[in-house]
Amino acid sequence: MRTTRLLLPLAAAIALAACGQQDGAPANTADAPAASAPAQPSGEAMAETQDTAQAIAGVSGTYVLDPHHTDVVAQWSHFGFSHPVAHFGQVEGRIVYDADNVSASSVEVTLPLAGLNSHVSEFDDHLRSADFFDAAKYPNATFKSTSVESAGTNKLKVTGDLTIKDITKPVVLDVTINKFGEQPMVKRAAAGFDAVAQIKRSDFGVGAYAPNVSDEVELRITTEAVVAEDAAAPAAATAQ
């Protein structure tokens, strides 16, 4: 019995010492789980990143706008409550793109007001009335570039004259080159672009109800164009 009483404190001391050694000892790296290495992107993801980083190879040629895949969207503020839009379709035009000398490129576009569509027929009639576009007298709006400049990778700055109701003002389009390549449906070389611009309605005689209906209008443009049948076929297009 006496021996047992002596052994109990000794056992407790050994246990406490072992706990202290365990707390202070470095972790056993053999038993600890290995730190996971940072995940490496898959080959497909790396290729996609590289493709995105590379510039799209522009293909020189004269391209005709495809009205079925071209849309000009105007958006404005209505008393600050909403931001309605109107679409300008039935767009006609040509893009001359010179890959070797971008400044020699040009754009000419006609926007028939017959193609205006806000998805509200009464509003469309009002927009075409003399209060706004006076479409009976001025059936078309037009844009003709005066300069084209490179603005970085797959970016262009296109400055031109926008004419509405026989009033012409300069407008700058910030353009993104989407793609050059063969359009698989028509089997012809094609080019695709997006662009944005800001204008003031009052500059073109369509400023009714400003400023409650904002004078400032944002234009968003997307277009697909195929090489003109009457133009020499450009070299085979490749999208990098």
Q: Are 156 and 104 in contact (CB under 8 A)?
A: no
Residue 6 pLDDT exceeds 50 = no
Tell me what pLDDT residue 55 has: 80
- Average pLDDT of the segment spanning 21-34: 44
Tell me what pLDDT residue 53 has: 41
pTM of the model: 0.74
- Least-confidence region, from 21-30, 57-66, 140-149, 163-172: 21-30
Distance CA 86, CA 201 (A): 13
The full set of domains in the chain, from first to last, is 58-227 (2.40.128.110)
Tell me what pLDDT residue 148 has: 98
* 168 beta partners: 163
What tens digit of pLDDT does each residue of 113-144 get?
999 999 999 999 999 999 999 999 999 999 99
Tell me what pLDDT residue 39 has: 53
Distance CA 153, CA 14 (A): 72
Name the 3-class secondary structure at 23.
helix
Per the prediction, the chain carries an average pLDDT of 82
Strand runs (DSSP E) across 11-135, as ranges?
61-65, 71-75, 85-88, 92-97, 106-112, 116-117
- Burial call 56-91: b when 16+ CB within 10 Å, e when fewer: bebbbbbbbbbbeebbbebebbeeeeeeeebebbeb
Q: Are 78 and 84 in contact (CB under 8 A)?
A: yes
Confidence of residue 56 (pLDDT cuts 50, 70, 90): confident
Tell me what pLDDT residue 19 has: 42
Residue 94 pLDDT exceeds 90 = yes
What tens digit of pLDDT does each residue of 193-204 get?
999 999 999 999
Residue 152 — φ and ψ, nearest 5°? 120, -175
